[in-house]
Amino acid sequence: MELTQWILGGNGGLLVLEPLTALTDFIVTAVCILGLVKFSRHKETEKRQLRVFAWFFLFMGLGTLFAGLFTHAFSYFFYPERLSKEALSVLCYDEKLSYNLHNLPNWVFNVVSVTLFEVSNIIMTKKYLPKLNTGLYYAVIAVESLAVYVLLLTVLKYDIAIAHIGFALYLTALPLQIAVYRKHRSQYSKYMISGILIMLITPPVMALKFEFCKWFNFNDISHVVIAVTMYCFMLAGEEFVEEKLEK
């Protein structure tokens, strides 16, 4: 991948690496801030059900904010030289940790946000599926999340966070949302399912490193997809508040 850059203020100005990648990260952050504000302003009953959902938007927004700033735009402040996978593989743990310190805020906030997404799905689908065994789900989420945190800090690769996202979306949330939609034809679950399925665009884009041009590469495409998914989740939350189930 050819690295793009802007120099703000002309020669001798501020260097910004991967500017479009950083900008698309900030678009995701903006959508998440909107979601956080929306789900922090409801009446107390809904606020209790939506609290964890709001926290999900908060930590997702923090993750993409730090990704845009530290992982992309200003990564050279932390580690001037980008190492190849081969060079990284021969580093000892302390050297790998030092090399990835600027990535950790993005990675950790991302992992936390995904765990909060899982938990919020359990809390919210309980409204539609009162017989749901929430204790079992929480236990599985706790074990899986703990394993992810340990592996992330041991292996120091974003691939661990990607696996966490896949587990949360397709093994936890999607089956629950399909069950809710089949039982209630819920608009909440419809938007949730739409957002989850839209995310299926990102794996092939990332794997093939597809790009329209060097200024809009696979990272940028993935960030736009994530922003659309976050918007779908925000619409889902609004429908959750509006839907009143028949007793």
List, for residues 186-242, the tens digit of each pLDDT value.
999 999 999 999 999 999 999 999 988 888 999 999 999 999 999 999 999 999 999
Q: Which pLDDT does position 246 carry in this prediction?
A: 53
Lowest mean pLDDT among 85-94, 171-180, 196-205: 85-94
What residues are paired with 7 via a beta bridge? 15
The CA distance from 23 to 28, in Å, is 9
What pLDDT is recorded for position 65? 97
pTM score of the predicted model: 0.92
How remote is the C-alpha of 188 from its chain's centroid?
19
Residue 7 φ/ψ, nearest 5 degrees? -120, 110
Q: Mind giving me the DSSP string for 131-173?
A: T--HHHHHHHHHHHHHHHHHHHHHH--THHHHHHHHIIIIIII
Range 37-41 average pLDDT: 89
